Structure 1
Amino acid sequence: MDSDDSATDWSSGDEPQRKHRNVASSPSQPIRGARPPQRSGLRPARKTLPLVPYKDWVPGQSYEEHSPVCMHYIMEWKLTLNKKTAAKQTEDNLVVAPSDFWNEELASKIADIVQSTGKSYKADATTIAISVNDRSERDITKHFKELQIDWPVVEKQHQGWSHLLRIGKTVRVNVSFNYMESGKTGRTAGRGATAIQLGERDTRLDAEPVVSGAPDAWRQVYTILRCLDPPCDRGPYCWQDPDSKKHYKLMGHHLRSLVKSVQQGCKLERHDDVPQDIRTQLYAEEQQHLHRKRKRQNSGTYPSGQPMVINKHIPTASGQALTSPNISGSHSVTCASSRPASFNIL
């Protein structure tokens, strides 16, 4: 098998000239019915058919031909959560490398399905079975830890059967992803939110590998904003105000907004680069938290007829304060240097 022939030019599939023995030079050996031409029709030469580069693939286009010029196969994938089937699908007539289909299409599907459950799951194992409906070939099964798939090993066997397509055989790739729920023991509401937040991180980092040379947005945000200061009880992720040095806890919706800003081209290399809109939201949420805390502490300590007045002062980038009865949580993400802080006062 010559696997290198298919790596560059997928449009060429000419078979090499077969070498036949000159039986006329051996009169003592009988000629039995000219069998070699008939055998070549049943068992083709083992020349590897190429795969289509992902950039040239047209989803939905039929590549089923009587004389195929490229490798095509069927992929059946299944996602299990705690060993129970959560989703499965058949991808017909694929012509791109399985690794390309995983990186460009399937990884994001798996990540979205896992996150849609609202629970914390982590990749446990991946099983890949490759088969062809030919009696002379046995199924090949490979097991991998988490999502650490050795695609070259898989694709070597997968493409090694491509010559059988010339006689009408079908190659199948069955992929099973199993995720296990983490942190199923009892916990408080706050710890539960943190576990979900960590689950989102694990899912993204596992199921969205870095295909290009640029850092993954989720990985970049988590790396920069992970709190490593031992005294901090706000973690595991928080933003440190460059002026006051105070730590502000980052929840899942804050992190998603930061990822979105990075994906839109905003720079995020240190805490100073956190967009002003997100800073404003953190200030407002902190003030609301302090207000509720003071209200609980002061309940029952004042005479029944004496009113209690509480003003909320929200710091701005310049160190001034605004007083408002309510701060809207809605905002649009902009880069830190794009405009000063703004408030929606209802």
Structure 2
Amino acid sequence: MLQELDREVNAEEELTGEPAAWRHVYAIMRCPGSCELGPHCWQDPYGKKHYKLYRDEILSLVRYVQSGKRLDSHDDVPGMIRDQIYRAERRRLEGQKGHNRISSESNYPPITITNVLPAQPSQLAISSSPPSSEGISTSSANSSRLNITGLRDANVQAYCDWQQSQVGHASWKVEFQKACDVALDDGLDLDQIDELSDPEYFKNRGVKWGIARRFVKDIRYWAETHQPVRRNPALLSQPDSST
């Protein structure tokens, strides 16, 4: 692979008379600090997090440079390639979770089944009693969907606009928009985000931790306080008492 790369670099230099794009990308994207992801990574200018660069991402950067675009620092990496890097990072983390889950399951001690005597009649009567209605209503409330009207993608942006209106710092507004873009790019509406309740999902896509938590946590509050009040059709059908 290295020999093939050397041939590509030499051929490009002879053809253009300029330093090869491959060599330029490798030099610019070398890790600016020290991390365990490899010699080449991209450092997010917002959260300063390091993301491992695979051959596909490096190839995209090479083509970007070959098209005449500027790449003088990590800040110059364009949005489309940043999204590609975020997706690769998400796949890497999901692979790690799967590997850890398999490893932990293999380390479980063997299950021992012990025969027990059947429960006494009094115990059966207690255990067979129906659950209270209070417990049922609580579970139902926790799993209920949001009561949001309108287009789902437009609601995501409207919710983001509200979050931005709650802060004054420009960098915080940028982070909220970044979380909104992640949701829209992945087809997530507010119901789905509220159901998942996973700020780590947005943090792993480059959103600052505090903004990711706030973006996930406040959805139900926003839906309950900033949605138009729905009128009850039964009330609308009743005659006006003043007439």
TM over 0.5, shorter chain: no
- TM-score where L is the length of structure 2: 0.40
- TM-score where L is the length of structure 1: 0.29
Structure (1 or 2) with the larger CA radius of gyration = 1
Q: Which has the higher strand share?
A: 1
